[in-house]
Amino acid sequence: MTGVVRSTIPGGMFDRHTFRCVGMNASLDGKATGTTVCEAIDEDGDKRLSYFSLGSDGKVARENVVGTGKYEGMVASGTVLPLGPFPVIKAGTFQDCNHQSGTYKLK
Q: Which domain holds residue 89?
A: 2-105
CA distances to 3, 22, 36, 79 from 96, rounded to whole Å, are: 10, 15, 15, 16
Q: What is the model's pLDDT at position 17? A: 95
Q: What is the model's pLDDT at position 82? A: 83
Characterize the bridge pairing of strands 47-54 and 60-67.
antiparallel
Mean pLDDT confidence for 87-99: 88
Mean pLDDT confidence for 32-59: 92
* The model's pTM: 0.82
pLDDT of residue 56 exceeding 80, the answer is no
pLDDT of residue 81 exceeding 90, the answer is no
With a pLDDT cut of 70, the percent of the chain lying above it is 100
The structural domain count of the chain equals 1
Cβ-contact 100, 83 below 8 angstroms: no
Mean pLDDT confidence for 47-60: 89
Question: What band does 83 get if pLDDT is binned at 50, 70 and 90?
Answer: confident
